[in-house]
Chains A and B, each alone.
Chain A
Amino acid sequence: MKKHFKIALAGNPNCGKTSIFNALTGARQHVGNYPGVTVESKSGWFSIGDIEIELVDLPGIYSLSSSSPEENVAFEVLTGKGIDLILNVIDSSIPRRSMYLTTQIAELHIPMMLVFNMSDDARKRGIKFDIGKLEKYFGSPIVQTVGRSLEGVKPLLDRLPKVLEELDNHGVPMLSYGSDIDDSISEIASRIDALNVKRYAHIPSRFFAVKLLESDSCTMKIPEFKPVWKDVVAQIKHLSDIHAIDEAHTFMADRRYAMISGAFRDSMSMTGEKRRQISDKIDSVVTNKVFGLPFFLLVMYATFWFTFTCADPIMGWIEAGFGALSEGIKSVWSAESFPYLRDLITDGVIGGVGGVIVFLPNILFLFFAIALLEESGYMSRAAFVMDGIMRRFGLQGKSFVPLVLGFGCNVPAIMATRCIESEKDRKTTIMVLPLMSCGARLPIYALIIPAFFAVQYQALMMWIMYLIGVVVALLGARLLKNTVFKGDGEVYLMELPPYRMPTFRSLLLHMWDRAKMYLHKAGTIILATSILLFIANTYPEKKVFSKDYDSLIETAYKAGSLSRDDVRILSDGNLLSADAIAEIEEQGTLSEDMIASLEEKNPNLAQEAVLEKSMELNSQISKLENEKNAEAMEYTISGRIGKFMEPFFKPIGFDWRLATASIGALAAKEVFVSQLGILYAEGEADEESVPLREQLAKNYTPLQGFCIMLFCLLSIPCFATLAVIKREMNSWKAMFAEVFALLALAYVSTFIVYQVGTFLHIGTKLVS
């Protein structure tokens, strides 16, 4: 007996194929409670005893045709060679609709097994099947499963080996469309047999006869069948002449539903309908004409609030952890042995990679929230509510789910656009999707916003950034729809699945997968670019400076440090601890922290004078140190590139540091943060580490901070996104057009904001 089998999973959208796929193969493909989660076929392998099985998960389809990208994939796989068995997954809580596809798959005469999935839901709705009778009717074995749990697919695993053993004498369902139509089908089938089409020799001609009779546009496109067209037309005319049919286009569909009704007449009983009722009650509010939109906005706001507020404390811990790690390494590893390696590890790796890992909690909470929306079934309601607005901008409700997924990561979001049947709407959606602010841009906002904006405005600023992305995307879509992708779309049809309580396990798994992906990215591409950037930021080292900074600093100290009398004035006031006094005596000046805390304690005039003296000295020294650092930095590779680019970036408020960070961000958006982390970690040399945000607040104005975010939001997406755009648009031209359009958009917008802001003096003062 054969030991290797290829099995295809076919069924309606959202019937739980992927859950079954995951349960059988142990894979962790993404599942969600909205139609169209699987957009391409995926293979997985598993074995029962010594039988090896390749399982192909197909996108969900309503009909075996090829009028959408998903149907195309499924059609190609099922009509291709080498499929030993089709597992037709059926949502058994809605059997009438689900079996429509079954009647078409059956015509392929490939051995079929029916998987009555979601049998727990069917039971709750009081649906009972006479499995024996149905097996006989469809000539196929039937198992009842609950795909969401491992135990639920056991009946399938138990039955499968025996089914595979008996594949050769597998029953073939002979479906009757009624004697009149069956005659026509046989007539056309015999004509097709006479054509002897090699390409489809393995598929029964009856399948194509049925498709031709219902004028299936894709079968009509197969040139080999052209000779039988006139026979098809004659048969349809004959059928309507004898009044067997009154509708030339949908009579096949009518007959199929009648066939299913006939099959269920004495093999199914139905009593209650509880779940759907609860679902309908929720929907009467959530998709309400009046409350629908406010509810949606509330959900979106809650999502962002949850992402940022709840993740904040954890981020603090991680940041502190990396700071301690860096300090720890510096304290045990003396600066004399391998100083370059020491700096590379503490400043380059910890500064760069650590700076990105800090934002892991944000990412996890965001994906948790998105998974919750997906798995509960709310996502398709949101699409329903938003369709009217989207349509005004040339998009549609179905564009909505991919756009929201774009907040997580643009790459899978662009893949998810395959659920949009209308080619023009799909292309428009893909082209504007990079404007949806993805999770990788989040660390940039999370870094910048608290550095420049007061606590009460932070959530609002974050909201504004996302909103700008959405608004620009919508305007862009409108522009595209009115120019390049002009034209009428396909008919819109979207199923709203019943609500389902997401299992905690699947939400956690989803988060865990995301965490792994993020850490993997941090450990590979971000680590590599951090090391490269560190090297570019450090070398070549400047040995000879334009001024002798070290002796200048020394002279400044000699001239300006505090005298014993000055220190006494401070200690007399009893404002400082003995330790602090000792430190002041040694340093000859007060630290910034000390000055800040003393000023709050209402110093008298004499003390105030000492503070001012100290501040004067501090600013002199830091000015010299900054000059020295700047001179050293400008000498490095990064500095040279940055300087070269500066004329281009200066009009939008970027210095050479930000310029190099924007270039690095092409590899991955998070690199923007790690580059700033490295640059400022090096800048501070061997002083105690000052959080990056404080460094930024000292060096940039809030206006510049805003310009950084705006530029990063609108500019070219990362390489991974560009690659998937190229693939999904199937065009290099579209990809390069995207690159130039976004670069121009980002540059012009940031330019206007920066210049107007500077002119009007909005946010042009340093915060600290």
Chain B
Amino acid sequence: MNKKPEKSKEPEGVDKELTLADLPVGASATIVKIIPNSRGEKKFADVGLVPGVELVMQAHAPFGGLIRVKVMETSMALHASDAKNIVMKKGSKKGEKTL
């Protein structure tokens, strides 16, 4: 579950941002933000893909395209191209967003 992602050396937030699409299977990370006005922003929010939520990458489908992530105790499949719009931060910082 808490396998370290392969290329974990690069400092976070610098250069290229880490997105959900880049996460290797088994790695967990926390959503930082969803790129504004991206496709499906609202739908993602409806199923729990909002900033501050921790995800675990569960699988990549054969022939590319779909990925499967664990979010809020459920398993959701979505497209890697859409997952590029979800910016992540490595590690699992506990705690909810405060009001």
Binds B, one of A46-54, A107-115, A289-297, A533-541: A289-297
Chain A residues positioned under 8 Å from B60 (CB to CB): 289
Asked if residues B61 and A387 are in contact (CB atoms below 8 Å), the reply is yes
Chain B residues positioned under 8 Å from A65 (CB to CB): 42
Asked if residues A97 and B47 are in contact (CB atoms below 8 Å), the reply is yes
Asked if residues B61 and A388 are in contact (CB atoms below 8 Å), the reply is yes
Chain A residues positioned under 8 Å from B99 (CB to CB): 178, 255, 258, 262
> Is A283 in the interface zone, CB < 8 Å from B?
yes
Binds B, one of A24-32, A488-496, A520-528, A645-653: A488-496
A262 to B, closest residue via Cβ: B99
Chain B residues positioned under 8 Å from A702 (CB to CB): none
> Is A445 in the interface zone, CB < 8 Å from B?
no
Chain B residues positioned under 8 Å from A293 (CB to CB): 62
Chain B residues positioned under 8 Å from A384 (CB to CB): 59, 61, 66, 68, 77
Chain A residues positioned under 8 Å from B70 (CB to CB): 280
Partner of B76, one of A67, A283, A496: A496
CB 8 Å contact bits of A246-275 with B (1 = contact, 0 = none): 011110011101100110000000000100
B46 to chain A, nearest CB (A): 4
CB 8 Å contact bits of B36-76 with A (1 = contact, 0 = none): 11011111111110111100001111111110101111111
Chain B residues positioned under 8 Å from A261 (CB to CB): 96-97
B59 to chain A, nearest CB (A): 5
A273 to chain B, nearest CB (A): 8
CB 8 Å contact bits of A375-388 with B (1 = contact, 0 = none): 00000100111011
Asked if residues B73 and A493 are in contact (CB atoms below 8 Å), the reply is no
Asked if residues A254 and B50 are in contact (CB atoms below 8 Å), the reply is yes
Instruction: Enumerate chain B interface residues (CB-CB to A < 8 A).
Output: 33-34, 36-37, 39-48, 50-53, 58-66, 68, 70-79, 82, 96-99
Q: How far is the CA of A100 from the CA of B42 in the complex (A)?
A: 13
Asked if residues B37 and A249 are in contact (CB atoms below 8 Å), the reply is yes
Q: How far is the CA of A288 from the CA of B68 in the complex (A)?
A: 11
Asked if residues A248 and B58 are in contact (CB atoms below 8 Å), the reply is no
Chain B residues positioned under 8 Å from A247 (CB to CB): 33-34, 36, 51
Chain A residues positioned under 8 Å from B64 (CB to CB): 388
CB 8 Å contact bits of A352-374 with B (1 = contact, 0 = none): 00000000000000000000000
Asked if residues A292 and B62 are in contact (CB atoms below 8 Å), the reply is yes
Asked if residues A494 and B46 are in contact (CB atoms below 8 Å), the reply is no
Chain A residues positioned under 8 Å from B41 (CB to CB): 249-250
Q: How far is the CA of A730 from the CA of B63 in the complex (A)?
A: 34
Residue among B33, B34, B60, B62 facing the most chain A CB atoms (10 A cut-off): B62
Chain B residues positioned under 8 Å from A97 (CB to CB): 47-48, 71-74
- Given A97-B72, A276-B73, A292-B61; A62-B47 close (CB under 8 Å): yes
Asked if residues A257 and B48 are in contact (CB atoms below 8 Å), the reply is yes
Q: A261-B97, A384-B59, A498-B75 are in contact. List 20 more A-B contacts (CB 8 A).
A: A97-B47, A97-B71, A97-B72, A217-B42, A250-B42, A253-B46, A254-B50, A254-B51, A257-B50, A273-B73, A279-B75, A283-B68, A383-B77, A384-B66, A397-B77, A491-B44, A491-B78, A492-B66, A492-B79, A496-B74
Chain A residues positioned under 8 Å from B33 (CB to CB): 247
> Is A766 in the interface zone, CB < 8 Å from B?
no
Asked if residues A397 and B66 are in contact (CB atoms below 8 Å), the reply is yes
Residue among B41, B51, B77, B78 facing the most chain A CB atoms (10 A cut-off): B77
Q: How far is the CA of A711 from the CA of B94 in the complex (A)?
A: 62
A217 to B, closest residue via Cβ: B42
Q: How far is the CA of A250 from the CA of B86 in the complex (A)?
A: 13
Q: How far is the CA of A65 from the CA of B47 in the complex (A)?
A: 13
A241 to chain B, nearest CB (A): 17
Chain B residues positioned under 8 Å from A94 (CB to CB): 72-74
Chain A residues positioned under 8 Å from B44 (CB to CB): 250, 491, 493
CB 8 Å contact bits of A122-157 with B (1 = contact, 0 = none): 000000000000000000000000000000000000
B25 to chain A, nearest CB (A): 8
Chain B residues positioned under 8 Å from A582 (CB to CB): none
Which 8 pairs across A and B sit closest by C-beta, in order of nearness?
A388-B63, A491-B40, A253-B45, A62-B46, A63-B46, A97-B72, A496-B75, A261-B96
Asked if residues B74 and A389 are in contact (CB atoms below 8 Å), the reply is no
Chain B residues positioned under 8 Å from A591 (CB to CB): none
B45 to A, closest residue via Cβ: A253
Partner of B97, one of A63, A257, A490, A497: A257
Chain B residues positioned under 8 Å from A383 (CB to CB): 77
Asked if residues A493 and B77 are in contact (CB atoms below 8 Å), the reply is yes
A257 to B, closest residue via Cβ: B50
A247 to chain B, nearest CB (A): 7
Q: Which positions 60-98 of chain A face chain B at CB distance < 8 Å? A: 62-63, 65, 67, 93-94, 96-97
B76 to A, closest residue via Cβ: A495
